C-alpha cells in the first residue's frame, strides 16, 4: 500500500543515521522503527512533517494518493490538545488513518474529564482538583495529602519530577505555580497512590484484544525518592541505566487481579470511545485496589517501549503489530 507517514518535522529521520548519538536516536526511535517496519512489509512510504499548517497534508494526499495515513502527530502548533483536529481533518479528507478517532482523543487527553466520566461509571480514580492559570491555589478538605501535581494537557511525564509530589499546602502552591509558569498549562493535583505502576495495552475497533499487564520497574531510586514516573524515569537513558529502571511483565499478580485489570481496560476503552490502539495506566495500591491514572490513545510504539514489548509477549511481532494497525485503520467505519 501507499502509506503517508505523518509526524513532526523534527522527527523525520535523516537518510543516514550513522552520525547520530544515543540521545538523538532515542528521540527518533519511534519514527525510525515504524518506517523500518513499513519497509520490511513492502509498503511505499512518503513522510510529511506537520507543524502548524494543514496544507502539506492536503498536498500529499492529492499527489501521493495514500491508501492509509500512519499518524504519529501528537501536537499541532506546539499544543498537544490540538492533535485531535489533525485527525478530524483526515476524516474530512476521507483518508483512513492509524490510531484513535478525534472524539476519543479529546476525551482521553482531558485528564480531568476522563476521570469524571470513569468515576460516573464507578471506576476507581484518585481524588483530584484542577488549578487553572490565574486562579487562587488552595487545599480543600476532600483532597488528601500527599498529592502529585501534573500538567493538565501535556503527556509523557512532561514537567514531572520528585518535586511534583507535595505534602503541604505551601509546596502545592509552589508546584502549581511552576506548572503554570514553566510548562505553560493548567495543573491537576491528584491523590498519590502508593503502589505498583501497571500498564495495559489494548488494540481494536469493535473487537478488542488486550496485552499482558506490564509494570514500570523503578529500580534503585535515590534514598527518599517516591516511585513516580518522572521525566527522567521515562526519557533519560543515562538515568535509566544508572538506576536500573525498566519495564517488564507484571509478576506475581493473582489471576483475579489480571482479569480485573483486563475487564477494566476494556470498559475504559469503550467509555472513552477509543479505537485503534491505546495504553491504560493504573496504580495497583498496596491494599489491592486498582486506580485508573490515565488513558493514552496512540501511545509510544517504538520496538523497545511498553506497548510493543507487551504486544510481543502477546504473540505479535513488531511488523505484524504495525500491519495490524494499518488493517484497523482501513476497517474503521467512516
Q: Are 175 and 230 in contact (CB under 8 A)?
A: no
Q: Among all chains, which residue has been given the C-alpha cell 482479569?
A: 259
CA distance 321 to 229: 26
Inter-helix orientation angle 111-120/255-271, to 10°: 110
CA torsion angle 32 280 331 62 (round to 10)? -50
CA distance 55 to 193: 45
Backbone angles phi, psi at 140, to 5 degrees: -105, 160
Domains plus CATH for the chain?
Answer: 2-99 (3.40.50.20), 106-124+195-317 (3.30.470.20), 128-191 (3.30.1490)
Inter-helix orientation angle 22-40/318-331, to 10°: 60
C-alpha cell of 172? 502545592
Q: Tens-of-pLDDT digits for all 334 residues of the chain? A: 999 999 999 999 998 888 898 889 999 999 999 999 999 999 999 999 999 999 999 999 999 999 999 999 999 998 888 999 999 999 999 999 999 999 999 999 889 999 999 999 999 999 999 999 988 888 888 889 999 999 888 776 677 889 999 999 999 999 999 999 988 889 999 999 999 999 999 999 999 999 999 999 988 888 888 888 888 888 788 888 888 888 999 999 999 999 999 999 999 999 999 999 999 999 999 899 999 999 999 999 999 999 999 999 999 999 999 999 999 999 986 5
Beta strands in 18-118 (DSSP E): 44-49, 68-71
| DSSP category for residue 205 | S
Amino acid at each position: 500500500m501507499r502509506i503517508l507517514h505523518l509526524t513532526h518535522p523534527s522527527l523525520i529521520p535523516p537518510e543516514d543515521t550513522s552520525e547520530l548519538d544515543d540521545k538523538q536516536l532515542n528521540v527518533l526511535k519511534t519514527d525510525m522503527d515504524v518506517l523500518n517496519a513499513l519497509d520490511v512489509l513492502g509498503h511505499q512510504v512518503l513522510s510529511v512533517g506537520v507543524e502548524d499548517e494543514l496544507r502539506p497534508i492536503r498536498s500529499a494526499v492529492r499527489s501521493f494518493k495514500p491508501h492509509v495515513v500512519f499518524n504519529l502527530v501528537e501536537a499541532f502548533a506546539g499544543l498537544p490538545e490540538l492533535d485531535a483536529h489533525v485527525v478530524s481533518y483526515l476524516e474530512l479528507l476521507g483518508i483512513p488513518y492509524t490510531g484513535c478517532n478525534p472524539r476519543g482523543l479529546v476525551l482521553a487527553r482531558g485528564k480531568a474529564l476522563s476521570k469524571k466520566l470513569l468515576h460516573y461509571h464507578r471506576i476507581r480514580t484518585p481524588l483530584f482538583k484542577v488549578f487553572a492559570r490565574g486562579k487562587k491555589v488552595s487545599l480543600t478538605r476532600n483532597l488528601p495529602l500527599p498529592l502529585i501535581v501534573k500538567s493538565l494537557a501535556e503527556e509523557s511525564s512532561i514537567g514531572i519530577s520528585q518535586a511534583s509530589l507535595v505534602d503541604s499546602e505551601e509546596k502545592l502552591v509552589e508546584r502549581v505555580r511552576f506548572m503554570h509558569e514553566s510548562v505553560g498549562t493548567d495543573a491537576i493535583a491528584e491523590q498519590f497512590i502508593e503502589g505498583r505502576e501497571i500498564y495495559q495495552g489494548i488494540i481494536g475497533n469493535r473487537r478488542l484484544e488486550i496485552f499482558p499487564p506490564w509494570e514500570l520497574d523503578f529500580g534503585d531510586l535515590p534514598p527518599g525518592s517516591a516511585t513516580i514516573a518522572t521525566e527522567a524515569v521515562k526519557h533519560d537513558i543515562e538515568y535509566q541505566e544508572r538506576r536500573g529502571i525498566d519495564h517488564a511483565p507484571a509478576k506475581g499478580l493473582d489471576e483475579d487481579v489480571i482479569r480485573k485489570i483486563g475487564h477494566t481496560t476494556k470498559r475504559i476503552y469503550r467509555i472513552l470511545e477509543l479505537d485503534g490502539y491505546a495504553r491504560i495506566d493504573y496504580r495497583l495500591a498496596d491494599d489491592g485496589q486498582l486506580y485508573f491514572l490515565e488513558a493514552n490513545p496512540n501511545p509510544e510504539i517504538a520496538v523497545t517501549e511498553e506497548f510493543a514489548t507487551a504486544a510481543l509477549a502477546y504473540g505479535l511481532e513488531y511488523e505484524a503489530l504495525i500491519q495490524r494497525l494499518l488493517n484497523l485503520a482501513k476497517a474503521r467505519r467512516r
